[in-house]
Structure 1
Amino acid sequence: MVIGATTLARRVCAAVTENGRPVQHLAAPDDQDLRRALAARPAGVAVLVGDDLSALRYALAVRHVCDTVRIVATVFDRTVARQLQSLLLRCVTVSPADLLAPSLAGPCVERGVLAVWDDGQGPVAVRRTDGGLVETAWRRSPAARRRAVFGRLRGQLQPHDADARLLLIGLLGIAAVLALDWLWLVSAFHKPASTAFLEAARVVAGVGPAAPHDGHPGYEVMSGVAMLVTVGFTALLTAGIVDRLLGARLVGVLGRRVLPRAGHVIVVGLGQVGLRLCQTLRQVGVPVIGVEREPAAPNLRLARSMRIPVVLAHGEDREVLARLGLGRADALAAVGSEELDNIAVAVAAHGVAPEVRVVLRAGEDEAIAETRALLPLGLTRDIIRTSAAYVTAHLTGPPPRRVIADADCDYVDLPGRGLVGWPVPARDDCDHVDTAGTPGPAAPGADGLAPLPRP
């Protein structure tokens, strides 16, 4: 039994039907609908709805009616997923974002890599060979690691946003005045280091030298100029601090949250998929930059807690991509929820850096049913097809460990068999529920009867 009117639900229904299993598909059943449908004791129930709360409610209702049926539910939030699995026996939660993140990260980190992830003991990559797919340990090449290190160092001294530039200019200016004054006192006047530091600090603070220096008009003039210049640097420093205290602070000035300038991956779209992709890349040691156009996006807080630098801008803006160092980046991933926007980002990326690797998320837009048409723009990964393969494998056989997405097919990791090519269904939609979410023509269910439509 399949519950939900989403694109994923319709594809799973079509795949299971093509597999030769009878399916009962309910778009948005109420409690009575569930009781009537579960009376036939289906072999499995797939709860494939659009939000976590609805998935939680349906899973609890199914388990209340039937305490033995196997449940597969799509849940994005990891906390909800863990709680649901702990509460219900024989319930598996599936997050399309978690499923697809390794397959999106693979092409981003290196050509020829289908997927990459950290298994707790180090990065693991899946590559295609003449004998099939091979899972091996992965590590960035020495040249890529050097580029990433230099890119991080360059990012420490080349802030992206205005408030960080003001803060850094003010801080470096005050430090330069302090160092110059201290060096003059130690080298020309042979002052002890501690005394020289005190006098230099007084100059920077604007209270003048600690003691008069008769016969040294050059130093006195320099001290006066230094005090006047420090007033300007202090104003810049104060403005930068105020802006950072009042702003979102999505990009750091120093440390891990500065924008890398080379050897990085630019991820456009910080939804569930984009955030999981950034996290996967960081776990395998690849620096990332997130780009999000919505200042109130819910995942910005999570990105900040994960120390992922995020720029609030439109990813299809060529000036933004150039400012983020696309020409020195390893790849760009356009993984927003709107696939037409992802195409616009890919076109802009090719206009800025034609040689850069571009990875696109697709599969949810009805206008782009054939993802191979997007091949000239970059490597495309169909999130719905890959998720449907994983859910279908759960419903029709032993539970798979993971799924690897490729351009034209998916590979499901089955116990005892390894990565097995999963056939793509001939149809990507079912007859039970139309694209508007309403029941279609009556079709036989698991009990041989047509499911009851909602009144």
Structure 2
Amino acid sequence: MVVCGDDGLVHRLAAELSGLYGERVTLVVPPAGEGRRRPAAVQGRAAALLGRMTGAVGRGANGGPAAAVRVVEAPGPDDEALAEAGVERAMALALVYDDDETNIQAALRARRINPRLRLVIRLYNRRLGQHLEQLLDQAALVGDADAGTTVLSDADTAAPALVAAAVAGTSKVIEAGGLLLRAVERPAPGPGATAAPGTCTLALLSDGDGPDLLPGEQEAERAATRGRIVLETVRYTESAPAPASRLAAARSLPLGSFFSRRLRWALLGLAAAVCGLAVASWLVVEESSAKHAMYLSLLDLFAINDPAKDESTGRKVLQLLSGLVGLLLLPLLLAAALEGLGTFRSASALRRPPRGLSGHVVLLGLGKIGARVLVRLRELGIPVVCVERDPQARGISLARSLRVPTVIGDITEEGVLEAAKIGDSRTLLALTSSDTTNLEAVLYARAVKPDVRVVMRLYEDRFARAVYRTLRDSHPRALTRSRSVSFLAAPAFAAAMMGRRILGAIPVERGVLLIAALDVAGCAELEGRTAAQACRPGAWRVLAVDQGPDGRHPGAQPGEPPAGHVLGPGDRVVVAATRQGLADLLGRRSRPRTDVR
């Protein structure tokens, strides 16, 4: 396996392939200098990640020594670098540079060098990725099923998990061949409680030693005082929201944004004064109808009526009052025209947080990850206020087009978070690329509002663990979550390099559960067993069975696979598995370990 990249995803992906799948990995990284790690440091970083995932540094998923990670230093993935990495003999190549253009050029070179190569490309532009997949698949050898191309985005992979962690009551939904699965966090059920029908427990939340993934039924029953992640089905019969009526759609138009509140009240008062003058004229002038009285009042208002020299005293007074009101009309009309023009001119400008806003999500950082998270939050109809230091950031134009209130400024400066109304917010999403900046923002937000829910983007595992424990102990009643984008994205990239597709990933604190569809044929852990017998607590669990072309088994539900059905070569199963459990199912099962003292 060859992995080319220039950021943290390279280390995560190398650890996944080397430790969990036992593959020989060659990394192509930029040369040392300007903050870059040298080859020894890169190997050490991958080994440290591998050790934390497998429980013993340097031991792979097969119980023996982890496969070696070879490092090639090169400024970029040119022909010489790809040749030195052995792309012509490689099984798969992952291009995970942060620049889309670099990945595209390298993919075209690699396909020319090795038409049988399986390509996994990291691209932010989804539409371009679809066209690139078709182009590179056409360039591959005809009939070679392994020479496929997969385009993934770490931002798209991680955004749903970040949104699900930030929004209370929002579930993560995964589609698995017509079956909709939703993972939700439930509080402790208490002693004697029974699980709801159609659900299964995926994980027991941390009680100090970390979460327990895919516990057995007896273990889940004994842990009645621990919160848990539950997987449940989403029925297609659930009522969909009724379409909005035309009246509701008209009310939702931002007509009030054209004129300020003061101007609207002034115009309303002026209209009331005109109506009052018309009524008074109708009462004072004899033999005058209501229409004629209104007509005379408007003529006096615009100063185009003859002077009432031969009229009654009351008529003269009303004419003078109408003239005075007419003097006030001109500046109001001018102010309305200027405000309307200013509204159109500022339509492309960033909005400021409106007055009275509360219960919103404060999103820090509008880079690649922040932009994808912003789209997800708006799709859910959740009010958002964004904070970004760089006016030219990737997500600024998106926030402008979505009319999302945005504050431009450094979050470490005083007054920036107050401008985003952090004191009235419900959740803080700190998604900048700096761990210390995210931590500083979270600490300041907790000082302003101790019970605010926070989700941080942190890369370093040890740092994230220390931060999580400290914040949890300091604010036990507030929800604290830390997520690493590369940690969430690496399993999907590794599975794509192995030729497997991951249906979805469910984050559980700092761990990840994978939902995958696997063929039973050739898998000794599944073939010839019932769905209940094929489950291994702590490793994997069968959620549903697809019996060939007839579709999903009608009795398949999470926690209730088809009873008595023996899995055969023609079946396909949907499983929830840990990363090591998925590697075991793919044919690299663990051998008995011997601890090294």
Does structure 1 conserve the Cα–Cα contact (< 8 Å) formed by 2:516 and 2:576? yes
1:27-64 CA-to-partner distances (Å, cap 9, x unmatched) read 23321332454455322111111211001111111112
Counterpart of 2:458 in structure 1: which amino acid? A
The CA deviation at 1:176 is 1.8
Aligned length: 394
Partner of 1:274: 370
Farther-moved stretch of structure 1 (395-404 vs 222-231): 222-231
Superposition deviation, residue 68 in structure 1 = 2.4
1:383-405: CA deviations, max 9, x gaps? 11111122122223521122232
For 1:157-168, what aligned pairs fall within 5 Å after superposition? 167-168=259-260
Which residues of 2 match residues 134-283 of structure 1 at below 5 A? 134-137=231-234, 167-169=259-261, 171-190=263-282, 192=290, 196=294, 203=301, 207-208=302-303, 215=314, 223=322, 226-227=325-326, 229-230=328-329, 233=332, 236-237=335-336, 240-241=339-340, 243-244=342-343, 246-247=345-346, 249-251=348-350, 261-283=357-379
Paired position in structure 1 for 2:81: 33
Tell me if the contact between 2:107 and 2:121 (Cα under 8 Å) persists in the aligned partners: yes
Q: Bigger CA drift: 194-203 or 22-31?
A: 194-203
CA distance in 1, matches of 2:359, 2:106: 45
1:98 aligns with 2:156: yes
Aligned partner of 2:100 in structure 1 is 52
Which residue number corresponds to residue 26 of structure 2? 24
> Is there any run of 5+ residues in structure 2 with no aligned partner, and where?
30-75, 138-147, 187-199, 203-229, 239-247, 283-288, 473-479, 518-572, 582-597
SS class of match (1:267) = strand
The alpha carbon displacement at 1:95 in A equals 1.3
In the TM superposition, what are the counterparts of 1:29-428 in structure 2 within 5 Å?
A: 29-38=77-86, 41-89=89-137, 90-110=148-168, 115=172, 125-128=182-185, 131-132=201-202, 133-137=230-234, 167-169=259-261, 171-190=263-282, 192=290, 196=294, 203=301, 207-208=302-303, 215=314, 223=322, 226-227=325-326, 229-230=328-329, 233=332, 236-237=335-336, 240-241=339-340, 243-244=342-343, 246-247=345-346, 249-251=348-350, 261-316=357-412, 319-363=415-459, 369-375=462-468, 376=471, 378-396=480-498, 398-415=500-517, 416-422=573-579
For residue 25 of structure 1, what is the amino acid of its counterpart? Answer: L
Deviations 1:239-282 (CA, angstroms, capped at 9, x unpaired): 545655555744569xxx97881332221211121111111112
Aligned partner of residue 355 in structure 1, secondary structure: coil
Give the AA of the match of 1:387.
A
What's the C-alpha RMSD, in Å, of the aligned pairs? 4.0
- Report the secondary structure of 2:260's partner residue: helix
CA distance in 1, matches of 2:185, 2:78: 46
> What amino acid is aligned across from residue 177 of structure 1 in structure 2?
G
Of Structure 1 and Structure 2, the greater helix share is in: 1
SS in 2 for 1:280: helix
2:226 — aligned with what?
Answer: none
Asked whether the 8 Å contact 1:260–1:288 carries over to 2, the reply is no
Equivalent position amino acid for 2:12 in 1: R
- Cα distance in 1 between the residues matched to 2:233 and 2:413: 38
Q: Is the 8 A contact 2:407 2:420 kept in 1?
A: no
Q: Which residue of 2 aligns with 1:453?
A: none
In structure 2, the residue matched to 1:146 is none
Tell me by how many angstroms 1:93 deviates. 1.5
Which of these two proteins has the greater Rg computed from alpha carbons? 2
Shift of 1:116: 6.0
Secondary structure, aligned partner of 1:131: strand
AA partner of residue 74 (structure 1): R
Whole-angstrom CA distance in 1 between matches of 2:164 and 2:356: 20
Query: Among the aligned pairs, what percent are the same residue?
Result: 24
Task: Give the aligned partner of residue 44 of structure 2.
Answer: none
Partner Cα distance (2:367, 2:374) in 1: 11
- Does the 8 A contact of 2:482 with 2:509 survive in 1? yes
Question: 1:417 aligns to what SS in structure 2?
Answer: strand
> How far off is 1:109 after superposition?
2.0
Q: Do 1:178 and 1:201's aligned partners in 2 also have CA atoms closer than 8 Å? A: no
In 1, Cα distance between the equivalents of 2:362 and 2:133? 34
- 2:213 maps to none
Q: Is residue 44–residue 69 contact of structure 1 (8 Å, CA) maintained in 2?
A: yes
Q: State the SS of the aligned residue for 1:347.
A: helix
Cα deviation code 1:190-243 (max 9, x no counterpart): 47579849956985xxx4476767625765565455455555545654554565
Gaps of 5+ in 1: 140-148, 425-455
Aligned-partner residue type, residue 5 of structure 1: D
Taking structure 1 as reference, are residues 352 and 400 closer, same or farther at Cα in structure 2, changes over 3 Å only?
A: same
8 Å Cα contact 1:198/1:210 also seen in 2: yes
In 2, are the aligned partners of 1:52 and 1:80 still within 8 Å (CA)?
A: no
Higher relative contact order (CA 8 A, sep 6+): 1
CA distance, structure 2, for counterparts of residue 262 and residue 420 of structure 1 = 39
Equivalent position amino acid for 1:373 in 2: A
Residue deviations 1:129-175 (CA, integer Å, cap 9, x gap): 57114155599xxxxxxxxx9xx99x997x8xxxx8xx514641442
CA 1:295 to 1:221, structure 2 compared with 1: closer, same or farther past 3 Å? farther
State the TM-score, normalized to the length of structure 2.
Answer: 0.57
Does structure 2 conserve the Cα–Cα contact (< 8 Å) formed by 1:3 and 1:26? yes
Query: What letter corresponds to residue 399 of structure 2 in structure 1?
Result: A
CA contact (8 A) 1:181 1:200 kept: no
TM-score, length basis structure 1: 0.73
